[in-house]
Chains A and B, each alone.
Chain A
Amino acid sequence: AAGVIQSPRHLIKEKRETATLKCYPIPRHDTVYWYQQGPGQDPQFLISFYEKMQSDKGSIPDRFSAQQFSDYHSELNMSSLELGDSALYFCASSLGLQGRNTEAFFGQGTRLTVV
């Protein structure tokens, strides 16, 4: 079965550069979530989209922006990168909001290293 696909899997950037992470949800899933997980930390919710509209916002820095496109894929744009942005970035998708009958499936993540 198709899963959530994230690209790239690994990314190395220098401070103050920009990065774009991509997420392709499971076919027919209309909801996408972005999480950031630092070393030894729990996943922190950044932002989510439902039907191409932002549905919820977490601890996403102003330097970051995201959108969901007409084909439901999503991109997380990160500018003025800082060393502290080095983390594993997960994307998850679900059909509708998560709950009893709606499970969110996570992608394998993009490991971003800022040097």
Chain B
Amino acid sequence: GQNIDQPTEMTATEGAIVQINCTYQTSGFNGLFWYQQHAGEAPTFLSYNVLDGLEEKGRFSSFLSRSKGYSYLLLKELQMKDSASYLCAVPKSGGSYIPTFGRGTSLIVHP
């Protein structure tokens, strides 16, 4: 099965940089997803990493280390609208690509 660990809550200041960490244990690795979810809304895809290293996409970057079972999501130039839950997800076991979500990290951005 999958075991995903993320901080429950983080706070940061508008304009700052924040790093949300995720550690995982999974039998058979098929990549790692990051999703953003605003309260009461649908998750929105942010990134998918399958190889080690950093992938940058605008203000958001995602890093993966398969040997360490570790990933982080880096958010730069924080905006108030970035206040949301950030879900780290790895595909369920058995060769599937369907994301199994962790509890998510609630990020609060304040002025």
Contact = CB atoms under 8 A, between A and B. Distances in A.
Contacts of B96: 56
A27 B44 CA distance: 18
A8 B104 CA distance: 26
Contacts of B33: 98
A99 B31 contact: yes
B31 A42 contact: no
A6 to B, nearest CB: 9
A9 to B, nearest CB: 11
Contact of B98 (A58, A88, A100, A107): A58
A80 B49 CA distance: 40
B101 interface: yes
Contacts of A92: 42
Given A56-B92, A56-B98, A42 B48 contact: no
A106 interface: yes
A43 B45 contact: no
A98 B97 CA distance: 6
B100 interface: yes
Interface of A: 33, 41-45, 48, 56, 58, 88, 90, 92, 97-100, 103-109
